[in-house]
A and B are shown apart, each in its own frame.
Chain A
Amino acid sequence: MKVWKYGNDINTDMLFPGKYTYTCSTVDEIKPHLLEDLDPDFASQVQSGDILFAGKNFGCGSSREQPALGLKAVGIKAIVAESFARIFFRASINQGLLLIECRDAVSAFKEGDSVDIDIASGTINVGGKEFTFPKLPDEIMAISDAGGLLEYTRKKLAGRNL
């Protein structure tokens, strides 16, 4: 498991350049361009179970969901940031991608630290130090738990038609 660490205001163009928004439509087409203009090594080296750390306002900019979709698909376990931009926050819930807002965990992280996340208890252990993060309200967790908004919606619609 590798931790990828980036700075503040990582915007949607850095996460997935706008020039690909109408050339790549499938997840497999999106993956090779993830973080292309931010970190050219990311797409080729990222592995399932990796974690992203970032500063404040992660995901600011467009309503572009390809970053959330792509990061979920390559197996990013969680993004830990000081704060998230709101559209990206919603987009990640809708893809079932775990976001952890925890300023202290971000400041504590040093290169080489182990990171362990316990979703049930809302705790994150960074290099032996434990931090708590706020859990999302139940009605929002239900979307994420269903595997994302489409699955959640499918279940809801099927329920209505019983």
Chain B
Amino acid sequence: MGMTFAQKVLANRSGNGHVEVGQIVTVSPDHVLTHDNTAAIIGKITDELDKYGVVNPELLIIVLDHVIPAATEKNAAEHKKIREYVNKHSIKNFFDIGEGICHQVVYENGFALPGGLILGSDSHTCSYGAVGTFSSGIDRTESAALMLTGETWLKVPPTIKITLNGILNPPVSAKDLVLHIIGDIGADGANYCAVEFHGDIANLQMDDRFTIANMGIEMGAKIAVFPVDEITESFLTEHGVSPDMYDAVFADPDASYIQELVYNLDEIKPVLSCPHTVDNVKQVSEIRELEIDQCLIGTCTNGRLSDLRVAAEILKGKIIARNIRLLILPASKRIYREAMQEGLFEIFINAGAVILPPGCGPCLGAHQGALAPGEICLSTANRNFKGRMGCKDAEIYLASPATVAASAITGKITNPEDVK
């Protein structure tokens, strides 16, 4: 019997020829990602860091993105503590405020390699499945232990195979596709599992794959991974990663799957996740006319240049509704600069939007754009949990950049297919 992608990577990384689903293996990741939570992580192991040091400074990637620029004295003190730690332990892969959201920074700097293994103290670490990396989220304590030992255990997951046939009809996007899938299988539909995407992958660009892989955790997945193809290779080459720097891993044709699903992309329609769970998915046409208060376009799910271009095309020459606050959150400094150079900011500002610095912004409710009781936010982010954006009595709907941009103009949830 052949092996799935997950089996193969974990077999390679644990020094086994073959691993079975359910087997526990010891692995050493290529990188461990932490962000503003680095302060709490190093606080757990102050004495051990003094005694043993960091096992390998190259292992760590630290990106300040969650509450940037610091909102309070406490945040500022934590950022300061992280900078001191970075200097003391000569940690090269440190990205200070304004570089971008950690997942976009990892991706743009070529840290995520096909066939590689990355763990991170952020649940959306699963994003790098877009380039064929085995990547998954862990808690803070585990990152602390990894800083000291460089190794941990993983259980070999069973795998769900999702075959994507055909092509999406714009304005339907990868976000609509992944929300549709989550609506089908549920928030725990892939719990403990790997998800492999197969089929007409060439019809999905890298930004599409990143959006889909990013939301793997919203179906409970350990990893959500795409096979490496020419599109991946050219993306990696553009970001300084040549093919001799990695060994792509592909599932065997006779690998065994616990579930197989097939989607025809031309049948997918604009959808949204309704409060308060990501799997509460409905067609946009069922909810339209609902009045909203705030729109958010960006985040690690949909803050890439192609997302901002889609939004700008809809917003060009338009002004957002009087009752709307529109927040634009580019995922990285690179995207911020490119969007600015392309004139997208001019369009957004003329439409009445506020452009936020590249970071996590309002997504987790820690600062910037929190909601008031009774308010409704339509967002391109990945979570709509109760209280997520700072207020338990507010509601969050999740949708694609096109749906959010179209809705910002009307002030109500609007199907982008109806915008002329």
Contacts and interface: CB of A to CB of B under 8 A. Distances in A.
Interface stretch (A85-93, A104-112, A123-131): A85-93
A13 B36 contact: no
A139 B392 contact: no
A157 B191 contact: no
Given A22-B36, A86-B192, A60 B220 contact: yes
A139 B153 contact: yes
B323 interface: no
B78 interface: yes
Interface of A: 9, 11-14, 17-19, 21-23, 25, 36-37, 56-57, 60-65, 68, 83, 85-87, 90-91, 94-95, 137, 139-140, 148-150, 152-154, 156-157, 161
Contacts of B388: 13, 18
A18 B78 CA distance: 17
Interface residues of B, number: 52
Interface stretch (B245-253, B308-316, B350-358, B364-372): B364-372
Given A14-B387, A57-B191, A150 B144 contact: yes
A13 B391 CA distance: 11
28 contacts: A11-B385, A13-B385, A14-B385, A18-B390, A21-B37, A22-B36, A23-B72, A23-B74, A37-B386, A60-B188, A61-B383, A62-B123, A63-B120, A63-B125, A65-B139, A65-B141, A87-B138, A91-B141, A91-B142, A94-B142, A95-B141, A139-B24, A139-B153, A149-B142, A149-B144, A150-B45, A153-B148, A157-B52
B142 A140 contact: no
Contact of B138 (A63, A95, A157): A63
Contacts of B121: 63
B139 A91 contact: yes
Interface string B203-221: 0000000000000010010
Given A62-B122, A63-B138, 16 more contacts: A13-B383, A14-B387, A18-B366, A21-B37, A21-B366, A25-B74, A37-B386, A56-B188, A57-B220, A61-B385, A83-B191, A85-B188, A90-B138, A94-B141, A139-B153, A161-B52
B191 A85 contact: yes
A72 to B, nearest CB: 11
Interface in B344-399: 364-366, 370, 383, 385-388, 390, 392
Interface in B22-52: 24, 36-37, 39-40, 43-45, 48, 52
Given A37-B386, A57-B191, A19 B366 contact: yes
B75 interface: yes
A12 B148 CA distance: 27
B237 interface: no
Contacts of A23: 72, 74
B83 to A, nearest CB: 16
A153 B145 contact: yes
A17 B137 CA distance: 19
A25 B120 CA distance: 19
A22 B74 contact: yes
Contacts of A9: 187-188, 277
B333 interface: no
B234 interface: no
A157 B55 CA distance: 11
B149 interface: yes
B363 to A, nearest CB: 9
A59 to B, nearest CB: 10
B404 interface: no
Contacts of B36: 22
B48 A87 contact: no
B185 to A, nearest CB: 12
